[in-house]
Structure 1
Amino acid sequence: MSELTNPVQASAPDVPGAPAFDPRTSRRAVASGTFGTALEWFDFAVYGTLSATLFPQLFFPSFDTNTAILASFATFGAGMVARPLGGIFFGALGDKIGRRNVLMFTLMLMGVSSVLIGLLPNYAVAGIIAPMLLVLLRFLQGFALGGEASGVQVLVVEHAPSAHRGLYGGILATGSPLAQTFASVTLTGLAMFLSKEDFSSWGWRVPFLMGVLLLVVGVFIRRRVEETPAFKESQKKAAESAVPQERALAVIAKKPGTVIKLVLSWAASAGLFWISVTYAVNYLTKELGYDNSITFGLLLMANLISIPAALLGGRLSDSIGRKKTMLLGLTMQGLAAATMFPIMNSMNYPASVAIITLALCGIQVTAGTQAAFFSEALPTSMRYTGSALGMTLAGLFFGAPIPFVAAWIFQHTSNGILALTCIGLGLVVISVIAVLTLPERYKQSLHGEH
C-alpha cells in the first residue's frame, strides 16, 4: 500500500488551490474510521445473529415459536428505523459544525448502548420491561450508527488524496466484514465451549460487554484525527463570501433526485446483506436443522473470505470508475440471490458456504466503492447529510423489513423460497438502474460545489 505512505504523493494538493493532504492525518483518519466501523458493525452483527437464534426465547417466551421469531426480528428492525433519524440529526450537525466532533459522540453512544444490552435482564427476571428496554437500547444503537456509518465515510474520503479515494473507502469498508468475522469467531467459540444453558444465561452477554474495551480504544484513536480539509475549505469560502450557511436538510430541497438515486443504488446491498447474515442463519438452524455452531462457522468463513473484496472494490473503482465497479458487485449479488436457497436446501455444506460467500463478496465490492461514490455525488456543504440519508433510508426501506418479511413469507406461503428469491432479484434490478443514472465523478475534485 505505497499509496498510503508515499509522502510526496499523499501530501500533494488534490487540485490547484485545494488544501494539501497530510499523509499522517490521512492514515489516522482511515485507521479511526475502520476501527469505529468494526466496533459498531460488530455489535450489529452479534445482535442480528442472536435475534435469529436466542433472543426469541430469552425476551419473548410467552409467544409461540413463530410469533417469537417475528417479534425478535421486529426489535432488530427498530435499530434500522432509528438509523435515518440518526443520519438526519447527526448529518445536519456534521455539515454545520464539522465531522470529527460529531463522530466522537456517535462512537460513545453506540458503545454505551451495546454494553447496556449486555447487562439487560431477560423476560424471566424483568417481565415485559426486558423487551421494552431491549427495543429502546436497540433504537439508540441504530440512532448512533445512522450518524456514524456515513459520517466516518465522509471523514475518510475527504482526508484521502484524489487518486485514492476509492482505496481509502475500500479500507474503511473492511471494518464491516472484519466485525462480522470477529462476531462469528466470538459466537462460535462461546457456542462450542459453553453448554446451551450457560450460553443462554450469560454467554451471549460477553460480546456486548466487550464493547467497553473496544470503545476505549476507539475514542483514543479518534481523538487524534483532525477535521477534514474539504470541510475547512467549505467553511472558509462560506465565511469569505458572506453567503449564509446552508440550512439543515437543504440537500432534500436542492438535491432530492440525487438522494433518491443514492437510496435505490444501495437497496440490493442493504437487503441481501440481511438475507445472507440474518435470515439465512435462521433458515439453516430452524428449517434445515443445522447446529448453531455450524451456522456461526459458516458465517465466519464467508465473512473472512469477503474481506479482500472490499479492498478490491475500492481499488478497482479508482481505476475503472465507481459505476462499473458497483455494477460488478451487483452482478455478483444477483447470481447469489438467484441460487442461495436452492443451494442451501441441497444440504451441501461447502456449497452453502460458497453461495453465502458470493453474496457477501458482491456486497463488499459495492461497499468498497460506496463511500467515494456517495461522497462524489454531493457538494461538501450537504455531503454528510445526503450520504447518511442514502445509506440509512436504503437500510430502512430495503434492509430492516427483510428478516421480518422473510419469516412471515415462509410461515404463510407454500413457496417462500421463490418469493424471497424474487425479492432479492428485484432489489438488484432497482439498484442497477439507479447506479446507471448517477453521475461518474471519480476523476473530479471534492473541493467545490457541483
Structure 2
Amino acid sequence: MNSKPNNTHLNGDADGQSDPHRRLNKNDAKTLSLSALGGALEFYDFVIFVYFANVVGSLFFPTDMPEWLRQVQTYGIFAAGYLARPLGGIIMAHFGDILGRKRMFMMSILLMAIPTFAIGLMPTYETIGIAAPLLLLFFRVLQGAAIGGEAPGAWVFVTEHVSKRHVGLACGILSAGLVAGILIGSLIATGMHTVYTADEISDYAWRFPFLLGGVFGFIAMYLRRWLQETPIFKEMQESQELAVELPIKTVLKNHAPSVAVSMAVTWVLTAAVVVTVLMTPSLLQKLIHLDAKLSLEANSLAIIFVVIGSVVCGALADRFGNGPIMIIFSIGLAISYWVFYSTMLHDTTYLFPLYALVGFFTGLVGVVPAIAVKSFPAAIRFSGLSFSYNVAYAIFGGTTPMVVSLMLREDPLSPAYYVAFVCGIGVLAGLAVMRFRQRLDLITVPA
C-alpha cells in the first residue's frame, strides 16, 4: 500500500472512468438527481435559521437587549454553525477517504435532521432563561458539523461517478440542488408570512419550518439508500491504494497550493451565498423597511436564477475552462450586486429584475467545486476539499454576517463594498487557476 497513490493507475484517469469522454448515462442521471435532491433538503435544514433570524433573536435573547446587539448575537449563533464545519467536515472526510464516500454521505443527513427537529421543539428564553440560547448554540454546532461533510462529500461523490468531460456540469447541477434547498427555505418563509401574522409567527408558527426540516432530513436519508459507492473508491479499494497515513496530513504536507486556491474560491462562494442570498432580504427589511413578504418573493426569484446560473456556469466551465468562467461570473456578480443594492436604497421599482440578475451571477457557485475537486488526487480528495472548503467557510462565511452588520453602522453600502472586494479575490483566483491549470492537471487528472 502507498500513502501517496499514483492516480494514473486508475485506468490512466484520476476520475476513475475508463472512458473520460463518455456521455452522461442513466446511472449518472440517477446519482445526480438523488444527490441534488438530498442536498437540497439538507441545505434547507441549515439555512432556514437565517430566514427567521429576527424572530429567533427576539425569542432566545433578553427583551431589554439593544436591537443591534441582539442581531449580532443571533448571527453569532448562526456563525457557530459555520465554525463547527471544519471539525465535522474533516472527521467525515477522513472516514470518507478510508471507509467510503457513501457511508459519510448518509451520516451527514442524520446528523442534520435530529438537531433541526429539536430546534422546532425547544423552549424559548422566557421559559428557561439563558439555557435557551445555549441549547440553540449546541444544535447549531451539530448542524454545522453535518453540513461540513455534506457539500464536500456530495461534490466528491458525483464527480467520481461522471466522466471527466462532465465534472463542471455535474458540480453545477449539484450546486443548483444545494441552492434549491435555500429556495425551499425562502418559499416556506414567504408562505409563513402569507398565512400567519407577525404575532402568530412569533408565538408558535416559527417552529413549523424547523419541524418540517427534520422530516425533510429523514426523507433525504431514505433517498440516499439507493445510491452506489463511487467507482473511484471501489478501484482504490481493490488495488489497495487507499491512504495509509492520515489523509489530512498528506493534504497539508504536499498540496498547500491546491488548498490556497480552493480556500480563495470558497471565500467568493461565501460572499455570493451569505450576503446576496441569505442576508439581503433582512437587510432590505431593516434599512428601507421593505415589506417582508415582498422581499422574500424577490429573494425566491433570485434563487431560481442562482439555480439556472449554477448549471450554466458549470456547463460553460466544461467548455471554456474553470478559470475564465470564474473571472467572468465574479465580475458580473460585483457589478450586478452594486447596481442592485445601491439602487434599492433609493428606489425599489426594479427590485425583481435586478435581484434576478444578481442571482444569475451568483451561479458562480457552480464552478467553485469543480475547481476544488480537480485540485486534489483521488486518495485524499475528500479530505483536501473538505478541509479547504470548511476552513474557508468557517473563517469567511461564519463571520460575514457579523462583519457586515457591524460595517452597516458606518455605511449603508457596506454589503456592496464587501461583495465587490471578495469578487476581486475571485478574479485573482480565476487567474491563478488559468496560470496553474496545466500543473494541476498533471497532478490530479493525468491524460
The corresponding residue for 2:216 is 214
| Identical-pair percentage | 25
Q: Say which of 150, 153, 176 aligns to 2:152.
A: 150
Contact 1:266 1:431 in 2 (8 A): no
The corresponding residue for 1:6 is none
The corresponding residue for 1:9 is none
Q: Say which of 429, 442, 446 aligns to 1:434.
A: 429
The corresponding residue for 1:424 is 419
The corresponding residue for 2:317 is 317
Query: How big is each residue's C-alpha offset from its partner over 1:370-389, in whole Å with a ceiling of 9 and x where there is no partner?
Result: 23221111100111111112
Question: TM-score, structure 1 length as denominator?
Answer: 0.89
The corresponding residue for 1:352 is 351
User: Equivalences for 1:31-430 in 2 at 5 Å?
Assistant: 31-51=33-53, 53-60=54-61, 61-238=63-240, 245-249=244-248, 250-349=250-349, 351-364=350-363, 366-411=364-409, 413=410, 415-417=411-413, 419-430=414-425
What one-letter code is carried by the residue in structure 2 that aligns with 1:223? R
CA distance in 2, matches of 1:146, 1:206: 25
CA distance in 1, matches of 2:262, 2:268: 12
CA distance in 2, matches of 1:16, 1:392: 23
Contact 1:25 1:225 in 2 (8 A): no
Question: TM-score, structure 2 length as denominator?
Answer: 0.89
CA distance in 1, matches of 2:86, 2:240: 27
- Count, aligned residues: 430
CA distance in 1, matches of 2:443, 2:160: 7
Q: 1:126 to 1:188 in 2, by over 3 A?
A: same
Structure 2 residue matching 1:48: 3-state secondary structure: helix
Structure 1 residue matching 2:244: 3-state secondary structure: coil
Contact 1:163 1:443 in 2 (8 A): no
1:345 Cα deviation after fit: 0.5
1:80 Cα deviation after fit: 0.8
Query: How big is each residue's C-alpha offset from its partner over 1:255-306, in whole Å with a ceiling of 9 and x where there is no partner?
Result: 0121011101221221232111333222211121122212211211111232
Q: 1:434 to 1:224 in 2, by over 3 A?
A: same
What one-letter code is carried by the residue in structure 1 that aligns with 2:82? M
1:49 Cα deviation after fit: 1.8
Contact 1:284 1:295 in 2 (8 A): yes
Contact 1:380 1:446 in 2 (8 A): no
CA distance in 1, matches of 2:416, 2:444: 42
CA distance in 1, matches of 2:289, 2:84: 33
CA distance in 1, matches of 2:64, 2:236: 55
CA distance in 2, matches of 1:69, 1:17: 48
Q: 1:169 to 1:287 in 2, by over 3 A?
A: same
CA distance in 2, matches of 1:445, 1:179: 35
Contact 1:273 1:360 in 2 (8 A): no
CA distance in 2, matches of 1:88, 1:105: 13
1:393 Cα deviation after fit: 2.2
The corresponding residue for 2:6 is none
Aligned Cα root-mean-square deviation (Å): 2.6
What one-letter code is carried by the residue in structure 2 that aligns with 1:140? L
Structure 2: gaps (5+ residues): 1-10
Query: How big is each residue's C-alpha offset from its partner over 1:39-76, in whole Å with a ceiling of 9 and x where there is no partner?
Result: 1221233111212x212211113411111111111011
Q: 1:426 to 1:141 in 2, by over 3 A?
A: same
CA distance in 2, matches of 1:251, 1:17: 20
Q: 1:178 to 1:15 in 2, by over 3 A?
A: closer
CA distance in 2, matches of 1:153, 1:446: 19
Structure 1: gaps (5+ residues): 1-11
Contact 1:380 1:449 in 2 (8 A): no
CA distance in 2, matches of 1:313, 1:13: 28
Structure 2 residue matching 1:440: 3-state secondary structure: helix
Segments ≥4 residues shifted beyond 6 Å: 12-17, 441-450
What one-letter code is carried by the residue in structure 2 that aligns with 1:55? V
CA distance in 1, matches of 2:309, 2:416: 23
CA distance in 2, matches of 1:379, 1:230: 11
